[in-house]
Structure 1
């Protein structure tokens, strides 16, 4: 649900060297027709990824391209980048990047214009477009976790033949806002990058001027090779009796006429008589699979151990469900959850009078709406759930939190708010479900569907018991939104609601295991036991 830090994006910046001191240390150097280098990415000394960098001569200059793999991130992630620069290394000709996770692709495109460069960043829900970036054509993108683009920066710095330089930078993943940094040559084979709002970076290189090491925060990129790594979703089966893969039919048809099916897991208890008490889990925003980044799978296993049958499904298009995640909307999320309720009712081994919904983050809003209208739902639990619309309200909330936490500087905050306002205007001003922006087809219905929603009305329409669960130090959905949910629920006639706030816990209800420690699994939270016990005890009532 984090709008600017939802996944662990590497920081991208575009750099302009502006001040050359009269100390010559670099000079010209030659590149081959094509150079290929490989790198390993380490966290706490353990390999968590790999990078392959190509530098190739073109008719107009040099092309830097790379493939970067981070299989142990929250979502198995692959970055591809391509940067082209003029022969003098001072002028960028263009830059494209993509971040691919199962079911979704996020793209960034910096394209040349007559006056400079345009900026475009897109994910399946929102986008950011600026027709003209500042600083003209003297820009070059780098990413502090990318050996490829740090190589491009190094080449440019060495050709500039300076000891130190000031630079204006822009962070595309955070919007086209310019700031100033410094680049210093600390020793013969080491440069250092520092600036307000950016993490310090050390870049080491060899006698051939190839990057050998990049160090930023707790991640290090080192020249070398590693065996291909594959990761697994975190799916503990410690308490459930059995976990079966299932297919859930929906009313929708695919282009070929086949029915759209959702793939998922059904957790069954180790003992107990049929029909089972049943629970459906719905995850947070984003291209979530049935494990919910390891969060839902932990909840499912714990509840199965307490006698519940638990269903969790991949979002449509992710990775085994049919459909297209890029065209997902609030309406389709509601329909898919209703289909999961129908699936349990029609199985014959579930008690239709004891079906509960548990929603996490965005999934809580979806669960509340379905529970208000579906007569088979008898209870609903809302975990770290917003009291407001996912768009634009939660987008603006995320910007506010990031600013307070120092993850956005003032100009970024201003631009991000302006961007949200522009998106609102675009949705209101466009009749169709999509619009063309700078040659890119943009799907608007995710934003439109949430803009048309009314969470307080959905909450007040609930007639079943509701449990509201929230971490006291949640920095994604502030805990005061749990209080707002309770206010809406208390307007019901005869409704039963309960609020549980957990001290010292954040949005994931427990600490997050980083990539290095998670291997061979992907990064995931460890849900606190008292959260699982509280949820299970309430569902048994």
Structure 2
């Protein structure tokens, strides 16, 4: 019978909270059982990443993995504020989660794997480049910058050229150090087109500052620094990510990187495909 318990761990001065789930039965003989750290996507994501992680957790537990997931800083029971930093700070948190799982009795520290979804893929890539998990799997993670990814998503949703031009002006404003009030005024003068809502509707001053810090992040240097195998998993019908270009870029960035497309899947590939990529059933 599986067991789970609340855990806390430190990432620098920030205290994070999460869930550690352990499979039933005795640990394998030798160094211990394998484990997986799950890193959620953008926004105020908790240890379940909405509804995405529970079925994945269940499949991993059924295959004998220990599973750790955590509330993003400033979410749930975790301290701090994810909007006060950037992807580097979120990677610090994923690195700390890897260390916490490696320290768990009965877990083989050399057999801990890392999974990151969407924005969490960029975070997991940075953490994996630092901390060297046994294996890294990303899903729905663009191989382009956040600014380019969001523009792609707006275009796929049917944003007209003038809306895309307004988006480009917002990105340029961020690069120029323009504050939230001036950026919001730029949008107001343009009539606040509803087609830009997927990008702007929930943005406030703190979120704008976070978006500006991350908008030109390039994930490819982190891929080139990986020392572990990397599987970039995509739903073939993902509307948010330039799938073909991302798959080619990641697969070509490092000799141990591969891309896998799941036919018919969207931005959240099914749990069984993620679990298979992480080694469940091997």
- Equivalent residue pairs, number: 258
Q: 1:315 aligns with which of 50, 61, 72?
A: 72
Q: In the alignment, which of 27, 50, 66 is matched to residue 273 of structure 1? A: 27
- The residue aligned with 1:367 is 124
The one of 109, 112, 115 aligned to 1:355: 112
Distance 1:540 1:338, change over 3 A: farther
Pairing 1:437–2:181 present? yes
Per-residue CA shift, 1:124-163, capped at 9, x if unaligned? Answer: xxxxxxxxxxxxxxxxxxxxxxxxxxxxxxxxxxxxxxxx
1:484 to 249, 273, 281: 249
Q: CA deviation at 1:539?
A: 5.4
Q: Which residue number corresponds to residue 102 of structure 2?
A: 345
Partner residue in 1 for 2:236: 472
The ranges of structure 1 where at least 4 consecutive aligned residues each deviate by more than 4 angstroms after the TM superposition are: 438-445
* Residue pair 1:399, 1:416 contacting (<8 A) in 2 also: no
- Superposed, 1:511-522 pairs within 5 Å as none
Structure 2 stretches lacking a partner, 5+ long: 185-203
Q: Which residue of 2 aligns with 1:297?
A: 54
Matches within 5 A, 1:393-412: 393-402=148-157, 406=158, 408-412=159-163
Secondary structure, aligned partner of 2:116: strand
Q: TM-score, normalised by structure 1?
A: 0.45
Q: Is the 8 A contact 1:385 1:482 kept in 2?
A: no
Cα distance in 1 for residues equivalent to 2:259 and 2:26: 30
Which whole-Å CA distance do the structure 2 matches of 1:320 and 1:474 have between them? 31
CA–CA separation in structure 1 for the residues paired with 2:46 and 2:181: 30
Q: Which has the higher contact order (CA 8 A, sep 6+)?
A: 2
1:503-526 C-alpha deviation (Å, 9 max, x unpaired): 1111122xxxxxxxxxxxxxxxxx
Q: Note if contact 2:236-2:264 (Cα within 8 Å) is conserved in structure 1.
A: yes
Partner of 1:263: helix, strand, or coil?
A: strand
Contact 2:56/2:271 (8 A) holds in 1? no
1:379: Cα distance to partner?
A: 0.8
Shift of 1:413: 2.7
What CA distance in whole angstroms lies between the structure 2 residues aligned with 1:457 and 1:324?
Answer: 26
- CA shift, 1:441, in A, is 5.2
Q: Which structure shows the bigger proportion of residues in helix conformation?
A: 2
The Cα shift of 1:360 comes to 0.8
Cα pair distance change 1:307/1:451, threshold 3 Å: same
TM-fit CA distance, 1:445: 5.0
1:229-263 Cα offsets, whole Å, 9 max, x none, are xxxxxxxxxxx7122111122211xxxxxxx2111
1:264 pairs with 2:18: yes
Tell me: CA distance 1:452–1:324, structure 2 relative to 1, closer, same or farther (3 Å).
Answer: same
Please list every run of 5 or more consecutive structure 1 residues that lacks an aligned counterpart in the other structure. Answer: 1-239, 253-259, 428-434, 491-495, 510-526
Q: CA RMSD in A?
A: 2.4
CA distance in 1, matches of 2:154, 2:46: 26
2:7 counterpart of 1:246: yes
Q: 1:281 offset after TM fit, Å?
A: 0.6
CA distance in 2, matches of 1:500, 1:383: 9
The answer as to 2:263 corresponding to 1:503 is yes
Report which of the two structures shows the higher radius of gyration computed on alpha carbons. 1
Give, in angstroms, the shift of residue 436 of structure 1. 6.6
